[in-house]
Structure 1
């Protein structure tokens, strides 16, 4: 919890506890039923894959958590040479909330934005647009959003919750109050929504963009240097191009 919790700190489904995933039941049932019953030409693969891909993201995150804790237990190559406290483990146990939140928004977006349905598996132009928009305006805006979150007003009410974890784990990257995740989603939705309105979206661009964000978040918050130092000694300029824990 932040030092001075602000509005929209808690997730809306917090009272449901471990039963929070029941929220998705209607969408999961409808997408599965539609995919099985409809004529093959009418099946919407993207709509059907929303929930399975959420499970894949959870598996991806869990692999990072397991790897990080193994390296922390061995005590080798740790950046912060300390153990992980039980209080931190409890505080970060709701790391799947952000995946549930993304799933809800994608299901809602499917209903409200007809252009986002029946996506093709691949479109090169959409992948290029997504990459360019992320590298350009999204990274620029993210920098200033992050600066704002470190201002004492927002920091004490929101972002300090994230920095309560001194010995970071990969999943520390997504431990934020609900309001902060709303801001992040609005930001990272820029490339996704742009490809929808330009009719260049594809399942690959959506899944690939989310996988990239998850990978970089996990990489940047694990408590060991994932990339060997020898690589940076050989190619010093890489430190200006790569995001690393150090």
Structure 2
């Protein structure tokens, strides 16, 4: 609902459109709305990349996942973008910066002025303000909420109090204001500066290392010019150093640079011990994509959709052709990939997805390819040292692969246990049977689950009494075939 605040800006654009008889490309109101969209997409793209575990699982800084408490707290992460857009609209509509009236597309002198002001004003101002926010009583009142997020994400960059948003607005806006005050501002500078600023902010909070430590080794001064996700992560978790905006030089000058920053950056990038690379899971849930609409609800697309129960949203309809194109691409040249993970009592569990959609499981021509994908996933899990792999949904279809028995029979030396929901349920039920029981009366024995339980009990020399159904003679014969 907060987006209704843009109603006045939209109305201004509509008015100018009607007056000019076309899209008002020279309207600051239009550019403010476009900037808001571009900036939001910058954070969204970094969020998507950072959560594509099939790309980033080996270069994570912190291994933990994001919990729902953090998701709820960061739900309105883009409030700072709304605030800065409204502040921009106020400045545009005031006589404070007369240079805004003359819309210039490009002026390299403005870039030089903005760079000098960023290094000479924005970086020191942010550093000092940030250090002040970490002291009592300011921290508890204005900054503790930001640090309550356990794992940094690009969206965490926007989570904070209004005071923090205003300080960030000052750091970002001062170079632009200075360039326009001296008459060298341009539209290209506004877009470029906003993009670079947001890009670096989102990168720092991404929890994924992208710059090789070899680059810093080849050019050591770069360590004091550009921070890294590891650098910011240390600050976010321990709160006692690394206060800079983008340039660690100030931390080095004032003695607040955490000496572990570069070692952590190297470990995270190389996937070595000390970083946050995801290790070998003990349990893998092998799923598949249900349909095209559900494919847009995966964790690395939109957090606002993936964190709530599935529902079809009209806002996703324009993106349906894009999702359809990705479906065709996955059908042609994709393999099983990691979708999500979680830790349960210290044990790593992962969800993998076969790159096939539900309807493809009913195409006779696709059966061989699907089984090949499942087999490759099982062999990969076996090589990795996974203990249990569970076939989910249609991956365990009897008509497809006999509930997974095809792979177990084909590879008898598998160390990974290939199971599915029925076998796990049977295991839970069997565990509840007391050890001194010698006779069991079983209802529902004609089902796949009941037959598995009956067969196991017979192997344990336990007498099984079943009630057969007259309506299912074929199943009765299967039960009767169980040896006594």
For residues 10-67 of structure 1, the C-alpha deviation after alignment (integer angstroms, 9 at most, x for no partner) is: xxxxxxxxx1111111211212421452388x96343321101211111111111111
Q: Which has the higher helix share?
A: 1
Match of 1:184 among 168, 172, 178: 168
CA spacing shift, 1:237–1:132, aligned 2, 3 Å: closer
Shift of 1:166: 2.1
Q: Which runs of 5+ in 2 are unaligned?
A: 231-484
CA spacing shift, 1:43–1:76, aligned 2, 3 Å: closer
Give the structure-2-normalised TM-score. Answer: 0.44
Match of 1:122 in 2: 106
Q: Whose Rg is larger?
A: 2
Match of 1:174 among 158, 165, 173: 158
Q: Which has the higher strand share?
A: 2
After TM superposition, where is structure 1 displaced by more than 6 Å over at least 4 residues in a row? none
Q: Return the alpha-carbon distance in structure 2 between the equivalents of residues 90 and 163 of structure 1.
A: 14
Q: Which has the higher contact order (CA 8 A, sep 6+)?
A: 1
Match of 1:37 among 11, 19, 37: 19
Shift of 1:220: 0.9
Match of 2:77 in 1: 95
- Does the aligned pair in 2 maintain the 1:46–1:117 contact within 8 Å? no
Match of 2:191 in 1: 207
Match of 1:165 among 149, 166, 174: 149
Which is worse superposed, 195-204 or 111-120? 111-120
* SS of structure 2 residue aligned to 1:53: helix
Q: Verify: 1:81 aligned to 2:63, yes or no.
A: yes
Match of 2:214 in 1: 230
Q: Return the alpha-carbon distance in structure 1 between the equivalents of residues 168 and 221 of structure 2.
A: 29
For residues 185-222 of structure 1, the C-alpha deviation after alignment (integer angstroms, 9 at most, x for no partner) is: 13332222222222221111111111111011111111
Match of 1:195 in 2: 179
Match of 1:245 in 2: 229
Q: Return the alpha-carbon distance in structure 2 between the equivalents of residues 82 and 220 of structure 1.
A: 17
Shift of 1:232: 2.9
Q: CA RMSD in A?
A: 2.2
* SS of structure 2 residue aligned to 1:243: coil
Shift of 1:100: 0.9
Shift of 1:74: 6.2
- Does the aligned pair in 2 maintain the 1:44–1:117 contact within 8 Å? no
CA spacing shift, 1:43–1:67, aligned 2, 3 Å: closer
Q: Which runs of 5+ in 1 are unaligned?
A: 1-18
